[in-house]
Amino acid sequence: MNRIKAIAIVAIANSVLAASSFAQNHMVQANIPFDFTVSGKLFPAGEYRIEQHGTNIVEIRNRDKPISAVAMVGPDGQAGPGGGKLTFHRYRDQYFLSQILSDSAGMSFRVPVSKKERATQLQEARVTPSTTTFVATR
């Protein structure tokens, strides 16, 4: 009977450790110094936490304010060695999150272009070309 209890305890401990390591590994933090848009929602500049929830879903949450959103993402396939970064498309003073890359968090996602970004692209294409902006993650 004691052997069965010991096996059960080891199995439960392994399950808890696996679950906690999964939760810790699929999250990045970044200080974003400008307002930005994700899936049509405007976020103010600040400290953000991005967590993976499921295969193609991430949650973007402001650390200091009760602002968050859930976004659908797709695989990117561009994971490379060293750190992580968030990529933004910039049109004048508007920024749109386009990519989340982090080796340590196991994230390599592309954020689909929203209707708002597409409209901004068309409007700004006549005036000035877009640029890409990078923000380091932790």
| Grouped pLDDT means (10 residues each) for the chain, 138 residues | 48 47 69 94 95 91 93 78 82 92 85 92 71 72
Is position 8 within any domain?
A: no
For 7, the token pair is 């096996």
Q: What is the pLDDT of residue 84?
A: 85
Is there a domain that residue 65 lies in?
A: yes
Q: For tokens 């597409």, what's the residue?
A: 118
Q: How far apart are CA 22 and CA 43, in angstroms?
A: 27
The boundaries of the domain holding residue 84 are 27-136
Task: Give the count of domains, the chain.
Answer: 1
Q: Is residue 15 included in any domain, yes or no?
A: no
Q: What is the pTM of this model?
A: 0.73
Q: Considering the domain boundaries, does residue 75 fall inside one?
A: yes
The predicted pLDDT at position 22 comes to 45
pLDDT the model gives residue 21: 44
pLDDT of residue 45: 96
In a domain, 19, yes or no: no
Structural domain includes residue 2? no
In a domain, 1, yes or no: no
Distance CA 83, CA 97 (A): 18
